[in-house]
Amino acid sequence: MKFIDEYRDAQAARQYSDSLRRVTTKPWTIMEVCGGQTHSIVKFGIDELLPPAITLVHGPGCPVCVTSLELVEKAIEIASTPDVIFCSFGDMLRVPGISRDLLSVKATGGDVRIVYSPLDALKIAEENPAREVVFFAVGFETTAPANAMAVYQAAQKDIHNFSLLVSHVLVPPAMEAILSSPENRVQGFLAAGHVCAVMGFWEYEPIAAKYHVPIVVTGFEPVDILQGIYMCIRQLEGGRAEVENQYSRSVSKAGNLPAQKLIGEIFRVVPRKWRGVGEIPQSGLGLQEKYSRFDAEARFGLVHFTADEPAECISGLVLQGIKKPYECTAFVVRCTPEHPMGATMVSSEGACAAYYHYRKKS
Amino acid sequence: MASESKNGNAFICPIPIEQYPNVLLAHGGGGKLTHQLIEKMFLPAFGNSILGARHDGALLHLPSQQLAFTTDSYVIRPLFFPGGDIGSLAINGTVNDLAMCGARPLFLSAGFILEEGLPMDTLWRVVQSMKLAAEQAGVQIVTGDTKVVDRGKGDGIFINTAGIGVVEARQAISPANVRPGDAIVLSGDIGRHGIAIMAVREGLEFESTIESDCAALSGIVLDLIGAGIELHCLRDLTRGGLASALIEIAESSCLHFEIEENTIPMLEDVKGACEILGFDPLYVANEGRFISFVPARDVDRTLARMRAHPLGAQSCIIGTAKEGDPGLVTMRSRIGATRVVDMLSGEQLPRIC
Amino acid sequence: MCLAVPGKIMSIDGTDPVFRTGKVSFGGIVKQVNLAYVPEAKIDDYVLVHVGFAISIVDEAEAQEVFEYLRQIGELAELEENSIQ
């Protein structure tokens, strides 16, 4: 497949690997922000091709992982309501709530449907005017334009039985939270290429400057990731801290302007609680007041409550790159993909699941 | 229904549709309507003298040697999909289980659990499809049963089968017989069945020409047996894909299997579908592919025989069995690094992340 | 986040910018994709598609940069080795 296979070329990968060995003279710790990048690294065994001096830590780039326990519980509540059609991306179906997940709601008779696109959920709403249709709008900035369009089209078409349960999170505030933590060991970042395809990378320049960390916008295929790491290491070895763009075939500095415009029309920045991490100010998106009729939380009158994560679960520390999955006392022993304790084990992108599936069990 | 089964067009349902357009509870009651269903639909379709005896059980003459016996149930949704339907799946799946034992499949049973309200025409299409698949596989359906459950208690049609075959392989075929050094041979490209189903699943539809690879593998397996190849183990790939089959055998044989990603054939559009859904092709379902474990000295002959058969044209060696961590399956990725191939928990779900 | 796949635009429907869609091919399978966010996209362009939306047009010239960069660092390494010798 064009624009995929070339970036999985073994020779190019080996050349980048050799180049990395040549230019790395000191130990460095780099974080890849996006769960899709984590998935690729573990699936292709990319870390095997890195010199031992480079440590990769896996960041909180999995919207499934960071969706708060409260929101998962609200999703379960709504999906269990009679006559509701609850639509979601497949990723969310196995994320554990307090005692259940959306898949078990489906198993006990809830009408939970997997969709590929938010517009599919809108179509279901149009085809079922007598029923409430709710879409679980999860994602980073990459998915925001799609979710915004679903609301925009719903408003244009005057649809009354459609709403969104919004769980959008933003990358730059998460990066700042990691960098400003006293326990931070991350010295360089691979920024999420597809988030930047939408938002551009101008937002990262102040972060690179303030914390003196190189940030390289990176793609998802093995050769992209290796080049991104190479560019980051070159900066670190040279004492530079700039924003560079490895993924230039899909990302420009300004980003996608029509997408940003519609995001701004439909959504506004709000504080958001990240599962296992806590509340990060200005780190999420919520619906603008004029579109509040599409807000499922309001429509279903959901009560605020807080819930405690299982004490043993360190998914928050794994998400921030402070611990690796195998440092968790429950890893493999009590926490497995069949019986997950935290979202990082459930999501196919979660660092814990990635380690579980692709690593030898120790 | 979404698409025609393979033999779709020119037949007329023998049950008088104007009188009985849908299956009724009475069709499973054992009385007049059950009798009508058997006489007018099942017997003419599956027609053979054994079934024609109309007795409670089938009386079979079998040579006095080792028999293979299998059972399976089919609950697939949608009932009709590109390249097949629940009927052809039921026949081919059962035939394949027998073939994987190194047996020539001979006789099948077919038990139907029908949901009240199922369109008679749908049942007829499925029965016709089973007739065709049975003819192609050289098997006879010699006994059966029909029950009807209340509307809402079934999924249209469930089919249970059992199958008997006569073992022709000269040595036992089993994971226990896999040896270090055995080559792992795959009969063709992977992922067609799972993706063909996805293409017609509501909410995920896409346009494709991908058809399920649903097929009877007995012919190609009997060719290998006939050529005197020492088959240590055979396994057809079904749900859970290539990965699950490899892991199951690795665990049963207590050996380590190492495979090469670059050797595994896949159609370009199956690959495209896996990319957009976020599926790992190693775990996508197949219904007409198998892996065989043969000693290194037999590999060239095995490949030649398989490639000479229409169902094995893309046969290739994908890896080797080794001493080492028992039950471990590893894959060298196309960029040259190694990953562990692990059992999936649950079905693969389409993802965005 | 994450799962966005490049595909080729085979046809475009509609002129309304918000509701404009196209058939995009991914190795042969075709999906209807919303093109509202890539108003300059035309037939035969490759677009990056995430959850049914094209979010960017793939720049074919930039796509080669990854390999050009690799070639340059290879040359640089050779030069460095030669100068050491």
Question: CATH no. for residue C21?
Answer: 2.30.30.140
* CA separation for the pair B234, B219 (Å, rounded): 14
Residue B68: CA count within 13 A, CB half-sphere = 24
Tokens of A46: 């990319």
Q: pLDDT class for B236, splitting at 50, 70, 90?
A: very high
- Domain carrying residue C73: 5-84
Q: Please tell me if residue C5 touches chain A, with a CB cutoff of 8 Å.
A: yes
Q: What does the alpha-carbon distance between residue B212 and residue B233 come to, in Å, rounded to a whole number?
A: 25
Most confident option among A54-58, A220-224, B59-63:
A220-224
Contact partners for chain B, using 3 or more CB pairs closer than 8 A, are A, C
User: How many CA within 13 A on the CB side of residue A113?
Assistant: 22
Cross-chain residue pair A89–B350, CB shorter than 8 Å? yes
One-letter identity of residue A361: K
Q: Which has more pLDDT, A362 or B341? A: B341
Amino acid symbol at A253: K
List the subunits that have 3+ CB pairs under 8 angstroms with C: A, B
Q: Does C19 touch chain B (CB under 8 A)?
A: no
CA-closest candidate to residue B290, choices B342, B217, B195, B353: B217
> Exposed, middle or buried by CB within 10 Å (0-12, 13-18, 19+), for B132?
middle
Which A-chain residues 13-32 have CB contacts (< 8 A) with chain B? Answer: 13-14
Q: Which CATH superfamily is domain B175-340 in?
A: PurM-like C-terminal domain (3.90.650.10)
Mean pLDDT calculated for residue range B11-20: 73
Confidence of residue B7 (pLDDT cuts 50, 70, 90): very low
Contact residues, chain C, for B278 at CB < 8 Å: 3
DSSP letters of B302-343? Answer: HHHHHHTSGGGTT-EEEEEEESSSTT-EEEE-TTS-EEE---
Residue with tokens 């598609």: C49
* Domain A1-308 part of CATH 3.40.190.10: no
In chain B, domain spans = 25-167, 175-340
The pLDDT assigned to B4 comes to 39
Q: Where in chain A is the domain with CATH 3.40.50.11740?
A: 1-308
Taking an 8 Å cut-off on Cβ atoms, the answer to whether A248 and C59 are in contact is yes
What does the pLDDT average to over B270-280?
Answer: 93
**C59·A250 Cβ contact <8 A:** yes
Q: Quote the Cα angle for A75-B275-B268, to 5°.
A: 150
* Segment A224-255, tens digit of pLDDT: 999 999 999 999 999 999 999 999 999 999 99
pLDDT of residue A211: 96
Burial of C42 (0-12, 13-18, 19+ CB in 10 A): exposed
C60 vs A63, higher pLDDT: C60
Is the CB of residue C20 less than 8 Å from the CB of residue C12? Answer: yes
Of A44-48, A60-64, A218-222, B187-191, the poorest mean pLDDT is in: A60-64
Residue A19, CB half-sphere, CA atoms under 13 Å: how many? 26
Residue B33: C-alpha distances to residues B27, B48, B109, B126, B158 (Å): 5, 22, 21, 19, 19
Q: Provide the token pair at A336.
A: 């497995």
B333 phi and psi angles, rounded to 5 deg: -75, 165
Beta-carbon separation of B353 and A64 below 8 A? yes
Task: Identify the closest residue of chain A to B271 by CA–CA distance.
Answer: A1
Q: Is C76 on the interface with B (CB under 8 A)?
A: no
Cα–Cα distance between C85 and A108 in angstroms, integer? 73
Indicate whether this complex's ipTM tops 0.85. Answer: yes
Name the DSSP class of B65: S
Write down the H helix ranges in chain C: 60-84
Helix (H) or strand (E) holding A206: helix A205-211
DSSP letter for A239, please: T
Which among B342, B344, B353 has CB closest to A63? B353
A329 has a pLDDT exceeding 60:
yes
Q: Give the residue on C whose Cα is nearest the Cα of A149.
A: C18
A42–chain B Cβ distance below 8 A for any pair: yes
Nearest to C1 among A34, A116, A119 (CB): A34
Which element (helix H / strand E) includes A20? helix A10-23
Q: How confident is the model at residue B203 (pLDDT cuts 50, 70, 90)?
A: low
CA distance A115 to chain C (A): 9
3-state helix, strand, coil in chain A (%, to 5): 45, 20, 35
Indicate whether B8 pLDDT > 90. Answer: no
- Structure tokens that stand for C45 in this block: 């362009």
Q: Do A346 and A35 form a contact (C-beta atoms < 8 A)?
A: no
Residue C13's alpha-carbon distances to A127, B207, C16, in angstroms, are 22, 16, 9
Rg (CA), chain C: 19
Give the dihedral sign, CA A118/A121/A127/A131: negative
Quote the CA–CA distance of B21 and C32 in Å, as a whole number. 36
The domain tally of chain C equals 1
Give the mean pLDDT of chain B: 90
Asked if the C-beta of A326 comes within 8 angstroms of chain B's C-beta atoms, the answer is no
Nearest to B207 among C1, C2, C29 (CB): C29
C50 touches chain B (CB under 8 A): yes
Residue of B nearest to A5 (CA): B334
Do the bridges between strand B157-167 and strand B103-115 make them parallel or antiparallel, or are there none, so unpaired? Answer: antiparallel
Which of C12, C4, C6 has its CA nearest to residue C41?
C12
Note the pLDDT of residue A228. Answer: 97
Cβ contact A1–C53 (<8 Å): no
Q: Is the predicted pLDDT of residue B249 greater than 50, yes or no?
A: yes
Contact at CB, C28 and B208, closer than 8 angstroms: yes
Q: B123 phi and psi, to 5 degrees?
A: -60, -45
**Domain B25-167, second-level architecture:** 2-Layer Sandwich (3.30)
Instruction: Put the strands of the sheet holding B103-115 in their side by side order.
Output: B67-74, B157-167, B103-115, B140-149
- Confidence band of B6 (pLDDT split at 50, 70, 90): very low
Instruction: Please check whether residue C55 touches B, CB under 8 A.
Output: no
Of A39, A58, A56, the closest CA to residue A47 belongs to: A56
